[in-house]
Structure 1
Amino acid sequence: MKTVFISGGGTGGHYYPALAVAEAFKEKGYKVVYIGTTVGIEAKKGFPAADNTYLFEMKAVRGKSFLGKIEGILSLIKTTFKVIKLIKKENPSFSICFGGYTSFPLGVASFLTRKDLYIHEQNSIPSYTNRVLSIFAKKVFITFDYSKKFFNNKKTYHVGLPLRKSIIEMAKTYTYKPKDRKTVLIFGGSQGSKKLSEIAIEMAKSMPDKDFILIKGKWDLNVPNLPNLTVYDYCDKIEELYEVADVVVSRSGSGTVNEVLAFGKYAIFIPYPYAASNHQYYNVKWL
């Protein structure tokens, strides 16, 4: 049985494309080994497509104080050596990294052990991790054509974003059915958005003839009891909410943008202004 190492987590933007690809390799008979962090979304949800999951204590480097950067670098170096041991033990055919600092140890470990490395970039403006790992990568897969200019064009391929099988299957069979009351779905990515959540509540108050679905994420909000407002902390089956929504109001992470496009929904995208390199703005600039 062939083995593939996969890393991509921390947030849903890296986690879900990695999960989609892992599911595809499982269907083809591969053994999947997943590398993640103890503080990311994978620590809460696990990684169902993996035969073996290894979560390590890793810290981000970008956006931290000088001391924080040192701590982050040391944590990534420490994890890299641990991953090297795992690679020697499991002997994977190749590795795939989906960006974010949690992918850095697997990428470097694959290079040092001479394993083929592939990377996938979800956003229009590549992460610092993927820019570095692209130097060692055999091939670079991108979601947006705009990203080509950041990589070696000879080994870069525009493939789009891997979506979970459940989303693809529902999107394929989805047919819009007119209804008396319109439904607005509002959310701010895998971690939620306090500002968008507050806007959703005010909209529900001012438009009682519309139904609102809010995914508020981690934020502790004073949510009034309104008959036209349904609130979730998180939703594992986002495709079921896309199906009933007439309009989607959300941040513009790559996963959200591509899922909304798959369902052909009307959407208002509000880029997260503090995203690295303002990549959420460029994710939707081409629309």
Structure 2
Amino acid sequence: MKRRKIIMTGGGSAGHVTPNLALVPKLLELGYEVQYIGTKDGIESSIIKEARIKYHIISSGKLRRYFDIKNFTDPFRVIKGVFDAISIMRREKPNVVFSKGGFVSVPVVIAAHFCRIPAIAHESDMTPGLANRLAVPYCTKVCVTFPESINNIKGNKAVLTGTPIRKELLKGNKDIGLEICGFRNLSKPVLFVIGGSLGARVINETLRSCLDEILSNYNIIHICGKGNIDKNLDKKNGYVQFEYVSEELPHLMNAADLVISRAGANSIFELLALRKPNILIPLSKKSSRGDQILNAQSFKKNGYSLVIEEEQLNPKSLIKSIDELSENRKKYIKAMSESPVKNGVDNIIEVIEKYGKSL
């Protein structure tokens, strides 16, 4: 079998990195050599290096929707990043580039275009993010998760594939998860709270303001984000907190009976795959482009999720929603079990194979 090479990219948050890892086992099985392009200090650096994938560093600026003095200097970093990526492409000669989005992906996709290397992107959300909007003109095809997304990608480039789910996530062990947490009272159901890899301050604060009341009925696993551990709560019975989890995540997710989460597409499709009754708290339009609101509305419409808008989040609404979710958990599990949405790994690999073979 002739050895082929793929360079992957994506960064800024775990949601732009971990879906790439879901594709890696299948790519290796098909004979691909897998490499990755990211930034020096981005979250992708530690995640990819931990996975023992060859990692290349380029310069990249952050794409902001708000005023910042760095908006005047970062375009030059992006331009430098394009030349960095071109150098890597010419040296490594990949058959195909796969991008999961995030600001680091823009110079990589542009470089692939200039080097005449097919570039496949994946957009998880219903509408493309700023990075993918900038990258689409340079892409060969764009894999999308929601059927509604096809019309949002110009140039007849969209392919409906679904989102890739890591096999490891589906193989979690509930007993291992409970052992990691060390809960004393195992008769109480487990509430899993996650605000994304970067944490969610408003969710953290609201949960902790009514923690004792929730703990009277639930054990709580809280992924609170880097720097958000509250050491004063370390000895609180039935409550465990983590900044971020990686290898433990499948076990912790399997241990969960109910989940509270942001509404990033990767996260919610993982919840769907695991059939976990959930409350989604999408980022508000004040702090995002509104993509999570659209994602959450879609899941609510299909009966997969209960939704609390961030502006409506307070201790009272949170407790009320947890009780409602618990009472109707079988209804949500049934709706998710009947979902036609499948793991997108094979569909995405098919697109990569089609265009990767062309070189």
Q: Report the more deviating stretch, 219-228 or 81-90.
A: 219-228
| Aligned ranges 1:1-287 → 2 under 5 Å | 1-49=3-51, 51-65=53-67, 67-152=69-154, 154-170=156-172, 180-207=187-214, 208-218=216-226, 219-221=228-230, 223-224=232-233, 225-236=235-246, 237-273=248-284, 274-287=286-299
For residues 201 and 55 of structure 1, the distance between their equivalents in structure 2, rounded to whole angstroms, comes to: 39
Unaligned runs of 5+ in 1: 172-178
CA contact (8 A) 1:6 1:22 kept: no
Kindly name which structure, 1 or 2, has the bigger radius of gyration based on alpha carbons: 2
| Pairwise CA distance, 1:5 | 1.0
**Are the structure 2 counterparts of residues 275 and 282 from structure 1 closer, same or farther at C-alpha, using a change threshold of 3 Å?**
farther
CA contact (8 A) 2:229 2:243 kept: no
Query: What SS class does the counterpart of residue 191 from structure 2 fall into?
Result: strand
For residues 29 and 74 of structure 2, the distance between their equivalents in structure 1, rounded to whole angstroms, comes to: 36
Cα deviation digits, residues 126-182 of structure 1 (max 9, x gap)? 1122123222222110011222121137331111111112013449xxxxxxx7311
| Pairwise CA distance, 1:34 | 0.3
Q: Which amino acid aligns with 1:198?
A: E
For residues 133 and 80 of structure 2, the distance between their equivalents in structure 1, rounded to whole angstroms, comes to: 21
CA RMSD between the two structures: 2.0
How many residue pairs get aligned? The number is 280
| Pairwise CA distance, 1:46 | 3.2
CA contact (8 A) 1:213 1:229 kept: yes
CA contact (8 A) 1:98 1:120 kept: yes
Q: Report the more deviating stretch, 224-233 or 153-162.
A: 153-162
For residues 49 and 110 of structure 1, the distance between their equivalents in structure 2, rounded to whole angstroms, comes to: 24
Normalised TM-score (structure 1)? 0.90
For residues 90 and 257 of structure 1, the distance between their equivalents in structure 2, rounded to whole angstroms, comes to: 35
CA contact (8 A) 2:10 2:44 kept: no
Cα deviation digits, residues 165-214 of structure 1 (max 9, x gap)? 2013449xxxxxxx731111111001111221223323431132321111
Cα deviation digits, residues 61-89 of structure 1 (max 9, x gap)? 32353631222111111011011111111
For residues 219 and 259 of structure 2, the distance between their equivalents in structure 1, rounded to whole angstroms, comes to: 12
Q: Which amino acid aligns with 2:113?
A: F
Query: What SS class does the counterpart of residue 196 from structure 1 fall into?
Result: helix
| Pairwise CA distance, 1:275 | 4.9
Unaligned runs of 5+ in 2: 174-185, 300-359
> Percent identity between the aligned chains?
26
Normalised TM-score (structure 2)? 0.73
